[in-house]
Chains A and B, each alone.
Chain A
Amino acid sequence: MDYLTLLQTLNACHGPSGDETDLAETIRTLAEPYADACILDTMGNLIVHKKGSGPRVMFAAHMDSIGLIVTHIDEKGYLSFGKLGGLHPENLLHTPVRFKNGRRGVVSLRGDIAWKDMTLNDLYLDIGAKDEGEARSMVEIGDTAVCDMPVYELGTRLAGPYMDNRISCAAMLEALSRIKEHTSDLYFVFTVQEELGLRGSKPATFSIDPQYGIAVDVTLADELDVKGKGSSVLGGGAAIKVMDSSVICHPEVVKILENLALESNITCQRDIIVGGGTDAGSIHVSRTGVLTGGISVPCRYMHSPVEMVEAADVSAVAKLIVAFAEKTL
């Protein structure tokens, strides 16, 4: 699978939390050839259905990214913004951004604030407007922006913004194209607003009412940048989730995934992270409860514009999704 091209396609779409419609349309186009039906629900979740006679199995990868939302335009034409998801000022300062309508901007820091003291409130957006009037003609309060930086390859690895969670969307699309025989009734859901607190997956899970749920997401790798917070490493294969701060995966699901990896020669490792949640958190408590697990792609430099993953891990995640989808449950 050419992950680079697919990531470039996905990242070219606008898709910060709460404003995912463009991205959903693109994913729908990519998924449609492999689907019996594609549904966009009320909140904007894209539900890709592959019919089967067996139990309902839901795979969920959130398609939204973290982002910025314009909150104020001042008399000089500078913009204040709020955060969509976990933005950190040190990751954002001096990055180029892009609005849905194509307008561009840069993030800068108010001059009276020292770098070590900066908070998100001290950053502002400069969209190249000469004054307030011009700024207001370019963007409106409530418009959203995303980091406008490239995805590129470094050896067998990929880096760029929004690996979280476009790389999992890529793995889901790859899996969709590879599934052959299956009895399970399969739902591949590209969820919205995960970065704001697992908001989109809640109604999606309610409407699908699955027996099994698998969240596909990136996970903190135990690397130099976040030593001691995670258990997985880049290159260690598909990370089978045991726990994050939103879920303790059902032991039965963990066992099934580990056995499948063993049988199909898929490199895998266990994923336990301290801090950070996934859609598995909202899936497992839906209705009367759902047997839930997670398959993760280890990722470095989380929520920065240079999130990094290993292509072989992504491939392993896609294979494990296929194996679970094809298993008779």
Chain B
Amino acid sequence: MLIDTVKTLCALPGVSSHEDAVRDYIREEIAPYAHRIRVDAMGNLIAEKKGRLPGRKTLMLAAHMDEVGLMIHTITDEGYLKFSTVGGIDRRVLIGKRVLVGSKAISGVIGLKAYHLTSAEEEKKVPKLKEFYIDIGAKDGEDAKAWVRPGDIAVFDSDVLTFGNGFLKAKAIDDRIGCAVMVELMKRDLPMDCTFVFTVQEEVGTRGAFGAAFSVKPDIALVLEGTTAADLPSMPAHQRVCAPGKGPVVPYMDGGTVYDRGLFRLLRSLAKEHEIPWQTKEYVSGGTDAGAIQRSRDGVRVAAISAAVRYLHTPSSVASIADFDHILRLAELFIAAVANMEE
């Protein structure tokens, strides 16, 4: 089941540049279905799968394995950990959150100056990153250094939960949903050869996708993503972007890419024809690996299908489970359409 794969993947740690656990899991899952599988210098997992026909185009599917997180840069004499963010994190969500630090995954809590010492003026502002610290319960600096070194990564410690009317709450739904859809597609009978790329370091600027697209040399690329939803109380309709439960998000544009107009129309008509609910991004924001892929070599036609995710880049991102199967179905139809494309 797709939802089980999503849940398993969301539970794994995989902050940008430390995607090992996610990559190892995916590799084991898909290896039996891959014709050729490799990990490139950046750490992208690239799997070629044979379809019923080779296909006239080289089609690349891409989802990123990495998630946002923190990196420890200083250990104080008292044994607290100071950190930088890895990827875009809203500082307002950090306060009081649980994290797992380093390869030993030791528990920590993100702390901040006590509330009774906070002035009315300070309360109005979002604290600076340097005011935060991670408390790992160390006795002192010496004790902390026995467990943590500068450069260690911290990942949100958040359980995976289904709740309410078909919703999933987890960290890293962006973009384990895309990874899960690709794992599922690998297991299916496909009409043409496809190259599946599980990329690294998307959250720090689509860094993995550059090299992957350069080596795969696709004609067409489909990016599977999680994208920010803002269907919240008090948001005016024109700034809500998209909403979980309304189907796959097919973007025409975001902050990094104007998607290929022909492929956008193709996805739109496939959804309509097969009665798959769909939506588009009703606000220009964010970016995906498509930006890097589109401008690779002499250019690539790019399209994307995303899951609408509330509270993106927090330990508690929320998405609609019903959307996941629709994304899988639409991606499958897209592959079939590319297989039938004329020169």
Which A residues fall within an 8 A CB radius of B? Answer: 17-19, 41-43, 45, 69, 71-72, 74, 80, 82-84, 121, 141-142, 193, 196, 199, 202-204, 206-207
A207 to B238, CA, bound (A): 40
Chain A residues within 8 Å of B239, by CB: 121
Report A3 CB to chain B, min CB distance, Å: 29
Quick check: is B295 within 8 A (CB to CB) of the other chain?
Answer: yes
Given contacts A42-B300, A142-B264, A203-B295, contact A72 B237 (CB under 8 A): yes
Given contacts A71-B238, A82-B253, contact A206 B258 (CB under 8 A): no
Check B258–A42 contact: CB distance below 8 A.
no
Check B295–A82 contact: CB distance below 8 A.
no
Chain A residues within 8 Å of B264, by CB: 142
Chain B residues within 8 Å of A43, by CB: 294-295, 299
Quick check: is B147 within 8 A (CB to CB) of the other chain?
Answer: no
Given contacts A69-B253, A80-B282, A142-B253, contact A206 B297 (CB under 8 A): yes
Check A203–B282 contact: CB distance below 8 A.
no
Check B238–A80 contact: CB distance below 8 A.
yes
A202 to B238, CA, bound (A): 33
Chain B residues within 8 Å of A45, by CB: 299
A261 to B223, CA, bound (A): 48
Report A275 CB to chain B, min CB distance, Å: 20
Tell me the chain B residues, 220-244 only, with Cβ under 8 Å from chain A.
237-239
Q: Mark B233-270, 1 if CB is under 8 A from A, else 0.
A: 00001110000000000001100001001001000000
Chain B residues within 8 Å of A204, by CB: 298-299
Chain B residues within 8 Å of A74, by CB: 237-238
Q: Which of B238, B258, B300 contacts A193 (CB 8 A)?
A: B258
5 closest A-B pairs by beta carbon, nearest first, are A18-B258, A82-B284, A142-B252, A203-B299, A42-B299
Q: Which of B219, B295, B301 contacts A199 (CB 8 A)?
A: B295
Q: Mark B273-285, 1 if CB is under 8 A from A, else 0.
A: 0000000111110
Chain A residues within 8 Å of B299, by CB: 41-43, 45, 203-204, 207
Report B120 CB to chain A, min CB distance, Å: 26
Check A18–B253 contact: CB distance below 8 A.
yes
Quick check: is B74 within 8 A (CB to CB) of the other chain?
Answer: no
| A82-B284, A196-B258, A207-B298 known, 13 other contacts, Cβ within 8 Å | A42-B300, A69-B284, A71-B281, A72-B237, A72-B283, A80-B282, A82-B253, A83-B284, A84-B258, A142-B252, A142-B253, A203-B296, A203-B299
Given contacts A72-B238, A142-B253, A142-B280, contact A18 B298 (CB under 8 A): no
Residue total for B at the interface (Cβ-Cβ under 8 A): 22
Chain A residues within 8 Å of B238, by CB: 71-72, 74, 80
Closest B residue to A205 using CB positions:
B298
A193 to B294, CA, bound (A): 12
A183 to B258, CA, bound (A): 37
Closest B residue to A45 using CB positions:
B299
Closest B residue to A196 using CB positions:
B258
Main secondary structure of the interface of B (DSSP, over half): loop
A202 to B213, CA, bound (A): 14
Q: Which of A18, A72, A83, A193 has the most CB of B within 10 A?
A: A72
Q: Mark B130-154, 1 if CB is under 8 A from A, else 0.
A: 0000000000000000000000000
A80 to B280, CA, bound (A): 14
Q: Mark B78-97, 1 if CB is under 8 A from A, else 0.
A: 00000000000000000000
Closest A residue to B219 using CB positions:
A42
Chain B residues within 8 Å of A84, by CB: 253, 258
Given contacts A18-B253, A19-B261, contact A71 B282 (CB under 8 A): yes
Chain B residues within 8 Å of A71, by CB: 238, 281-284
Closest A residue to B237 using CB positions:
A74
A-B contact pairs, 6 of them (CB 8 A): A42-B219, A43-B294, A72-B238, A121-B239, A204-B299, A206-B297
Chain B residues within 8 Å of A19, by CB: 258, 261
Chain B residues within 8 Å of A207, by CB: 297-299
Given contacts A17-B258, A83-B284, A142-B252, contact A199 B297 (CB under 8 A): no
Chain B residues within 8 Å of A17, by CB: 258
Report B293 CB to chain A, min CB distance, Å: 11
A18 to B295, CA, bound (A): 13
Check A202–B295 contact: CB distance below 8 A.
yes
A71 to B241, CA, bound (A): 9
Report B124 CB to chain A, min CB distance, Å: 20
Check B298–A206 contact: CB distance below 8 A.
yes
Chain B residues within 8 Å of A142, by CB: 252-253, 264, 280
Chain A residues within 8 Å of B283, by CB: 71-72, 80, 82
Closest A residue to B291 using CB positions:
A199
A164 to B294, CA, bound (A): 24
Check B280–A141 contact: CB distance below 8 A.
yes
A228 to B281, CA, bound (A): 39
Check B284–A203 contact: CB distance below 8 A.
no
Closest B residue to A64 using CB positions:
B258
A41 to B253, CA, bound (A): 20
Chain B residues within 8 Å of A80, by CB: 238, 282-283
A71 to B282, CA, bound (A): 4
Chain A residues within 8 Å of B298, by CB: 41-42, 203-204, 206-207
A22 to B100, CA, bound (A): 54
Report B280 CB to chain A, min CB distance, Å: 5
A141 to B253, CA, bound (A): 11
